[in-house]
A and B are shown apart, each in its own frame.
Chain A
Amino acid sequence: MSLLTNSRMHPDLVERIEASLGVTAARGSGIPRPTKVAMIRAVAIVVIVSCGVSLVSERNRRIGELEKDRGFLLKSLDLESSVLSGGDLKTVERAQGWLARDSSDYAGDWIRPDLGKGTAWAEMIAVPAIYVRGPIADFQEPKRFELAVRESQKDPFLLCLLEPPKFERESSVYRSVYTAYRGGKALEEPTRNVRRLRDALAAIYYLDGSWRERVVEAERSDQLAQLQQAFDSAGLLRARAALTARYLIYAIDEAKDPGTRTELDGGNPHWVRFGIVGLKSGEPLVRLRRHVDPSWVSESRAPEFSRGLNSCLLASQIRKEVLPADPSPSPPGDVATGTEL
């Protein structure tokens, strides 16, 4: 039967029409026939449909995997964000505000009177804090703030503030400086409650809504994989701790004194502003401005360690000012149980 025929047609005509459709050629003639063409078309259609189905299923599978990966990443983000309060997420903003304020006109030295008494200092350094040091110009300029924060490391100043050298002799100070520069456990152990402001900045970068949008908008699995890789390597555990810091410890280097020389490591005579600020309370605990001069450093160490030696000595002297009755640093306390002063 064919749609070409109908009941109004003469049976002979119907027969001829159907014969016209059912064309056969001699076996082995090799002549293309409509039936062969039809078979080829059928095979082609099956192949095309199969390919289409495969492509669609493969696409769906990839989309599923993509969504799965995206969900996992978003869930990780949510998990990281869930332990942070709204105030935590403003840590960097607050720190930037303090740094900008203390980089402008100096308000004068200040040490909260009770800081050097009892266990106040020890309790303070037992809770999470963030540290940053940079040139005063970078903190005055918002655009340069992020760069300065990124370049700021745990350094001899921080180490010597928390664990001052036994003596102020160059050799003793040098050991502390060497320990700070060498890094590793010897540096991390005494400064374990202190995170870099850079970590907080990184955490904000990932926990901010824009990065989440990038995750949501990622269309390909390779894009998502890159985001996942960046997320994994961001060290958010460390960053999260930075965001929960209660204190900001900072050192701001003013411009070097005019007409002085500069060592290879950057050491030069200049003023340094030091401060400790309660991020939650918004209260300054310490605010000092001291002059450093690497002229006391021996010539053999001056080219490479002037800045470190000066920083360590400065930190040691500040600590003495804050803790006049405490010749040695107190052992660090429990982070979880620490309370803000």
Chain B
Amino acid sequence: MCAKCWNILGVLVSDSPMPPQDPSPTRSPIALPDLLHATPVRTIDWERTDLALVMAFAGGTSGGLFSDALATASVAPSTWEPASFADDLFVKSFVTKCFQIRVATGEPVQQSNYLRRLLSHPPSEPDTVFYRRAIIAELNEHPELRRQLESLYQTLCRFRALLEGTNIGSNWDSNRRQLDLLRLFRELVEPLSEAFGACSSGLRRLANFGGAVQAGEPFESLCDLLQYDEQLATLSFEVGLGADGRIRRLQVRSIKETQDNPFVSSPWRRWLTKLELFARGYRFSDGEVMARLLDAVFEGVREPMLCLVQLLGDVEFYLGALSFCDRARKAKLDVCLPELVDASQARTLTALFNPLLLGGDITPIPANVQTDRMDTTVLITGPNSGGKTRLLQALGLAQMLAQCGLYVPAQSAKMALVPGLVVSLIQETTLNQSEGRLGTELVRIRALFEDFPPGAMVILDELCSGTNPSEGEEIFELVIRMLTLLRPQAFVTTHFLGFAARLQDEGKIEDLRFLQVLLDENEKATYQFGLGVASTSLAAYAAARLGVTGEQLLALIEDKVAKGPSRR
């Protein structure tokens, strides 16, 4: 076990905890290659991950280092509460379906939980949002940069696999594995400066990180050690072949030992070193000498290695977002980085589509949504299966992605940042719920007003549909009236068409806007939305489509009567 492991174990089991020691107090800390925050932040539990890294490097543990570190990693400060929208927007499915990264070697195991947490916690700091937007935009605009990032990601995955021991066979040499890890680390660090040196976005941090690591003594020592392992000496041979093609003569022309490598020492010194190690309590072997050198070199690059753990999550965030763009383009749908404007300006979402439909049987149909200002309450009416709920999901996901600094599912968009998002779609009835459908929704409405920050976005699907229309309309009006006082960006669907028309006609609620599902000449939904209130829910069409007209039901009954009673 390496020296550091002993130290850490000593700390863990000690009766009197020792203060953690800075491994290199005189060395300036390496700049974090943080791609998620405008100001670099250590998101992972540094000490815990450091211990896990040391143990993993020594081979004392396997598996879960990266996932554990990222599972407990902090995310950017956010005013959004995931419980208010994540389930209703199917964020988990969205990540699984749309953020799956594909690289040349296949689909690596992603930190889906970490990605879900990142997406459901949009940063409240605008600088961070713009920081991310700059990175994703640069990656999207420069395919070469993206390839470099994918290459970095693949190497990171190999590094993770080797470190977590997922590809270790039964016969493995601890020193060899550690040398391989150091070699992979070198492979990770060396291209960074060149690959990302010209970047204008936060990607430049990768170059800075690579440059800083390479400029340090630990990395130089690492390279020397790897060279010592790979090329202790060079032998030149002269081979003489006979007429039959067989080797007749083999003569060593020269032997050149790599003398300038600080790890190279004379044979007698190597033997004495083994003796010294034995006297110090280690084994008498060449492997033990290498183990001590590995330990010292690893100690020097431990901190940059820790940065890689955090970097993996960051890279997955951007590559996942780019994968989403790829999927949209494959479906001939456009994505864009929205223009972030003030809430008082007009909202424009051109060719907005529901990303949850990507990859499924249903092809998303883009729709335009436009309102004269953001901080209004929009009542959406239209026929059943007219796309109202899908629109609400698209609006919610677009807002979430925009606030995360990522591409949104629209050709172009003008959006305003909001301090929160509450989504209440129609909930399925569960066995253990104490209230009925209306009661459950009223509880959610109560919670909405308790936690809802002013100016947040609210998405309510078929508000108060669980009771009779007259009472439902009263509650509906109450909620809308109270909600407007918080100046939200609200989208509410309803089938109370008359009630909606009355509100439109009366114009008592100033910030109320109306969108309706547009119908074609055959009175069928076009999945497009325009201003106004729908005149019909087209329930008859839906009933006819699903076989629930009077004639259809009567024919069904007559047929059953003619066949007689069941012989069950």
Q: Within the assembled complex, what's the spacing in Å between the Cα atoms of A25 and B272?
A: 26
Residue pair B279, A41 in contact (C-beta under 8 Å): yes
A-contacting residues, B285-316, CB 8 Å: 289, 292-293, 295-297, 299-300
Residue pair B292, A17 in contact (C-beta under 8 Å): yes
A-contacting residues, B507-543, CB 8 Å: none
With A19-B3, A24-B10, A31-B10: A4-B281 Cβ-Cβ less than 8 Å: no
Q: Within the assembled complex, what's the spacing in Å between the Cα atoms of A19 and B3?
A: 8
Of the stretches A5-13, A73-81, A179-187, the one at the interface is A5-13
Q: Within the assembled complex, what's the spacing in Å between the Cα atoms of A211 and B296?
A: 71
Interface residue tally for chain A (C-beta within 8 Å): 33
Q: Within the assembled complex, what's the spacing in Å between the Cα atoms of A3 and B275?
A: 10
Q: Within the assembled complex, what's the spacing in Å between the Cα atoms of A192 and B215?
A: 112
A-contacting residues, B1-48, CB 8 Å: 2-4, 6-7, 9-11, 13-16, 18, 24, 26-27
Residue pair A21, B280 in contact (C-beta under 8 Å): yes
Q: Within the assembled complex, what's the spacing in Å between the Cα atoms of A9 and B265?
A: 12
Residue pair B292, A26 in contact (C-beta under 8 Å): no
Q: Within the assembled complex, what's the spacing in Å between the Cα atoms of A27 and B6?
A: 12
With A23-B3, A23-B6: A13-B281 Cβ-Cβ less than 8 Å: no
B435 contacts chain A at the CB level, 8 A cutoff: no
Partner of B293, one of A4, A19, A24, A42: A4
Q: Within the assembled complex, what's the spacing in Å between the Cα atoms of A25 and B6?
A: 6
Q: Which residues of B contact A28 (CB under 8 A)?
A: 14-15
With A6-B265, A8-B262, A10-B220: A33-B272 Cβ-Cβ less than 8 Å: no
- In the complex, residue of chain B having the shortest beta-carbon distance to the beta carbon of A45: B279
Partner of B13, one of A4, A20, A23, A31: A31
Residue pair B296, A38 in contact (C-beta under 8 Å): no
Q: Within the assembled complex, what's the spacing in Å between the Cα atoms of A96 and B291?
A: 85
Partner of B276, one of A2, A25, A39: A2
Q: Which residues of B contact A26 (CB under 8 A)?
A: 10-11, 13-16, 18
Residue pair B300, A16 in contact (C-beta under 8 Å): yes
Residue pair A41, B296 in contact (C-beta under 8 Å): no
| B contact patch SS | helix
A-contacting residues, B232-264, CB 8 Å: 260, 262-263
A-B pair number, CB within 8 angstroms: 107
Nearest Cβ in chain B — how far from A44, in angstroms? 12
A29 contacts chain B at the CB level, 8 A cutoff: yes
Q: Which residues of B contact A8 (CB under 8 A)?
A: 260, 262
Q: Within the assembled complex, what's the spacing in Å between the Cα atoms of A134 and B262?
A: 97
Residue pair B292, A12 in contact (C-beta under 8 Å): no
With A12-B27, A21-B3: A4-B300 Cβ-Cβ less than 8 Å: no
A36 contacts chain B at the CB level, 8 A cutoff: yes
- In the complex, residue of chain A having the shortest beta-carbon distance to the beta carbon of B260: A8
Interface string of A26-53 (1 = CB under 8 A from B): 1111110111111111100000000000
Partner of B14, one of A4, A10, A23, A27: A27
Q: Which residues of B contact A9 (CB under 8 A)?
A: 221, 262-263
Q: Which residues of A contact B6 (CB under 8 A)?
A: 23, 25, 31, 33-34
A-contacting residues, B148-163, CB 8 Å: none
Nearest Cβ in chain A — how far from B294, in angstroms? 9
- In the complex, residue of chain B having the shortest beta-carbon distance to the beta carbon of A8: B262
With A25-B9, A34-B281, A41-B279: A6-B262 Cβ-Cβ less than 8 Å: yes
Q: Which residues of B contact A4 (CB under 8 A)?
A: 273, 276-277, 289, 292-293
Q: Which residues of B contact A34 (CB under 8 A)?
A: 6, 280-282
Partner of B218, one of A12, A30, A35: A12
If A9-B221, A19-B296 are given as contacts, then 5 extra A-B residue pairs at C-beta distance below 8 Å, sorted by A number, are A3-B269, A4-B277, A13-B262, A31-B9, A39-B281
Pull 26 A–B residue pairs with CB atoms less than 8 Å apart, ordered by A: A2-B273, A4-B277, A6-B262, A8-B262, A9-B262, A9-B263, A12-B26, A12-B218, A13-B296, A20-B4, A20-B296, A20-B299, A21-B280, A21-B292, A25-B9, A27-B16, A29-B9, A29-B10, A30-B13, A31-B10, A33-B6, A34-B6, A36-B281, A37-B282, A38-B280, A41-B279
